[in-house]
């Protein structure tokens, strides 16, 4: 899972070629034979000879050029009288050398991928997670020394010697406002005692503050402070996705390889997964599945379409299969961004029930009267009550064992879950619930509560 943000222990090993040096050999020196100069090249005989050769060459070249041009014109005029034309002298044209300075994309799709990466990469950031960890040192204890006995026995012991700032993991995020608001995964910034540093694509480092964490989804918003206007990733519409369309994932792979790019397609839509990592286990609904590589450290990075728009937030990968990654649809984060801008926090409508979605299998196993709805049950632990104290469900009189059939007219099914329906409403909204209790249908009315981190 990309939710596991523990930094990879094995560093990348780059092996350089060895510069081998051969042993030196000394060769016996060979004396060159002496050549006696030609007698004519001695003394005063050399200068007249050189002048004679130069003048002969010059006048010979000049005579050849004049006579060649004269005879060419004479022959051309004579042949013209016979209606015969000489071919024009051959022109020597130097072939132009073309040097390509940049790579030329071979297809339109490749061109769009390259442009998208170039446009969006400045808005993608790496998130470095650091924490003060204790420094443990080893020392040896000699019990017989205290007793004054002449025996030597050293027992190893360990003790803390201060603390040091240590990098414990990393993730990815992307800038969604010019003043430094960044979208990422909640599990990336889940540790309240850790510090978070943002590394931009151009190498700048900023201390990040966690503004809000989504209590229901793996989404968080952090902020960096800067005087400069930052590059912003454009958000798309995840409701208009199609299975098979090309997508691009960018992220801090393995928490070491900044802005790593992978390309794939949308493999599925509307998936429901149970993700674990970082000490949390959660069920995520209505998730995008892709075969674009999503590695550890990619959590919180953007999933892009070929228009350069963010259509998902990379969040998890399957350890049991190959090229099976998952991303949260960007439309789920749009509301979070607006709430943080206006309210300073992320709030959710809250009914306050613990439930199991009913299907044909659950109906048979539990001998239930219907094959749909949300069956209100308590959790496995004693403190996991079926109805949350003080919640809208308690105020409406809901009880353990009730089955919520409809939520304001919408039928509850595994495909249209209670959590998915509630997300369409706001805290304080008045809703009508159709429930089944003891074989009898009832209608109850309540106002949704508020849930925040």
pLDDT in tens, 2-13: 333 333 333 333
Binned at pLDDT 50, 70 and 90, residue 27 comes out as: very low
Binned at pLDDT 50, 70 and 90, residue 21 comes out as: very low
For residues 273 and 202, what is the distance between their CA atoms, to the nearest angstrom? 35
Q: What is the pLDDT of residues 235-263, one digit of tens each?
A: 999 999 999 999 999 998 887 888 899 99
Q: Which of 187, 208, 188, 183 is nearest to 198 (CA)?
A: 208
Task: Render 175-200 in DSSP notation, one character per residue.
Answer: E-STT-EEEE-GGGG--TT-EEEEE-
Comparing 397 with 156, the larger pLDDT belongs to: 397
pLDDT at 238: 94
42 pLDDT higher than 70: no
pLDDT at 250: 95
pLDDT at 98: 52
pLDDT at 79: 63
407 pLDDT higher than 90: yes
pLDDT at 59: 65
Q: Which of 359, 341, 360, 334 is nearest to 417 (CA)?
A: 359
Domain 348-452, CATH homologous superfamily name and number: PDZ domain (2.30.42.10)
pLDDT at 5: 33
Tokens of 59: 């006048």
Q: Are 273 and 282 in contact (CB under 8 A)?
A: no
Helix (H) or strand (E) holding 280: strand 280-290
Helix (H) or strand (E) holding 277: strand 257-277
Q: Tell me the HSE value of 353 on the side-chain side, using a 13 A CA sphere.
A: 27
217 pLDDT higher than 80: yes
For residues 24 and 29, what is the distance between their CA atoms, to the nearest angstrom? 15
60 pLDDT higher than 50: yes
294 pLDDT higher than 70: yes
Name which CATH class applies to 234-343: mainly beta
For residues 225 and 208, what is the distance between their CA atoms, to the nearest angstrom? 8
By three-state DSSP, how is residue 365 classified?
A: helix
Which of 63-67, 148-152, 313-317 is predicted with the least confidence, judged by mean pLDDT? 63-67
Name which CATH class applies to 125-224: mainly beta
Q: Which pTM does this prediction carry?
A: 0.66
For residues 286 and 419, what is the distance between their CA atoms, to the nearest angstrom? 11
Around Cβ 204, how many Cβ atoms within 10 Å?
13
Domain boundaries defined on the chain: 40-81, 125-224, 234-343, 348-452
Question: For the purposes of burial, counting CB atoms within 10 Å of the CB of 388, is it exposed (0-12), middle (13-18) or buried (19 or more)?
Answer: middle
Which of 28-32, 208-212, 404-408 is predicted with the least confidence, judged by mean pLDDT? 28-32
53 pLDDT higher than 90: no
For residues 128 and 133, what is the distance between their CA atoms, to the nearest angstrom? 15
Helix (H) or strand (E) holding 402: none
388 pLDDT higher than 80: yes
Catalytic residues: 187, 218, 299
Cross-strand partners of 273: 284
DSSP 6: B
For residues 411 and 372, what is the distance between their CA atoms, to the nearest angstrom? 8
120 pLDDT higher than 60: yes
Binned at pLDDT 50, 70 and 90, residue 23 comes out as: very low
pLDDT at 15: 29
Average pLDDT value over all residues in the chain: 81
Binned at pLDDT 50, 70 and 90, residue 381 comes out as: confident
Best-predicted range by mean pLDDT (31-40, 95-104, 200-209, 444-453): 200-209
Which of 85-89, 249-253, 287-291, 334-338 is predicted with the least confidence, judged by mean pLDDT? 85-89
Q: Do domains 125-224 and 234-343 have the same CATH topology?
A: yes
pLDDT at 351: 94
Binned at pLDDT 50, 70 and 90, residue 1 comes out as: very low
pLDDT at 197: 94
Q: What is the pLDDT of residues 143-154, one digit of tens each?
A: 777 777 777 777
pLDDT at 151: 72
Q: Are 355 and 367 in contact (CB under 8 A)?
A: no
Comparing 318 with 23, the larger pLDDT belongs to: 318
């Amino acid at each position: 899972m990309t939710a596991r943000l523990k930094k990879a222990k094995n560093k990348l090993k780059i092996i350089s070629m060895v510069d081998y040096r051969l042993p030196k050999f000394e060769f016996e020196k060979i004396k060159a034979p002496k050549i006696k100069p030609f007698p004519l090249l001695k003394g005063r005989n050399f200068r007249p000879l050189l002048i004679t050769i130069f003048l002969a060459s010059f006048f010979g070249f000049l005579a050849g050029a004049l006579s060649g041009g004269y005879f060419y014109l004479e022959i051309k005029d004579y042949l013209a009288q016979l209606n015969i034309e000489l071919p024009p002298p051959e022109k020597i044209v130097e072939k132009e050398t073309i040097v390509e300075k940049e790579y030329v994309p071979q297809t339109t799709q490749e061109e769009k991928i390259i442009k998208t990466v170039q446009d969006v990469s400045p808005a993608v950031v790496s998130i470095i997670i650091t924490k003060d960890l204790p420094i443990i040192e080893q020392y040896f204890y000699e019990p017989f020394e205290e007793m004054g006995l002449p025996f030597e026995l050293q027992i190893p012991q360990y003790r803390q010697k201060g603390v040091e700032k240590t990098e414990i993991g990393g993730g990815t995020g992307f800038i969604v406002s010019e003043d430094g608001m960044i979208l990422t995964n909640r599990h990336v910034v889940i540790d309240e005692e850790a510090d978070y540093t943002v590394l931009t694509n151009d190498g700048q480092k900023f201390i990040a503050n966690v503004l809000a964490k989504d209590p229901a989804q793996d989404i968080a918003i952090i902020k960096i402070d800067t005087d400069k206007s930052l590059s912003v990733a454009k958000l798309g519409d995840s409701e208009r996705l199609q299975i098979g369309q090309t997508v691009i994932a960018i992220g801090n792979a393995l928490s070491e390889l900044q802005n790593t790019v992978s390309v794939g397609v949308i493999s599925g839509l509307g998936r429901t997964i149970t993700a674990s990592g970082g000490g949390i286990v959660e069920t995520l609904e209505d998730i995008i599945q892709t075969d674009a590589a999503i590695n550890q450290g990619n959590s919180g990075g953007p999933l892009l379409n070929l228009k350069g728009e963010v259509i998902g937030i990379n969040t998890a990968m399957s350890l049991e299969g190959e090229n099976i990654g998952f991303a949260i649809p960007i439309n789920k984060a749009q509301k979070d961004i607006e709430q943080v801008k206006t309210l300073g926090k992320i709030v959710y409508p809250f009914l306050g029930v613990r439930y199991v979605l009913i299907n044909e299998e659950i109906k048979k196993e539990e001998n239930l009267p219907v094959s749909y709805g949300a069956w209100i049950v308590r959790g496995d632990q004693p403190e996991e009550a079926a109805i949350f104290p003080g919640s809208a469900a308690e105020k409406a009189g809901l009880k353990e064992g009730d089955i919520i059939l409809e939520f304001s007219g919408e039928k509850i099914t595994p495909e249209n879950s209670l959590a998915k329906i509630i997300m369409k409403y706001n805290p304080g909204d008045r809703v009508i619930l159709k429930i089944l209790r003891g074989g009898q249908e009832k209608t109850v009315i309540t106002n949704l509560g508020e849930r925040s981190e």
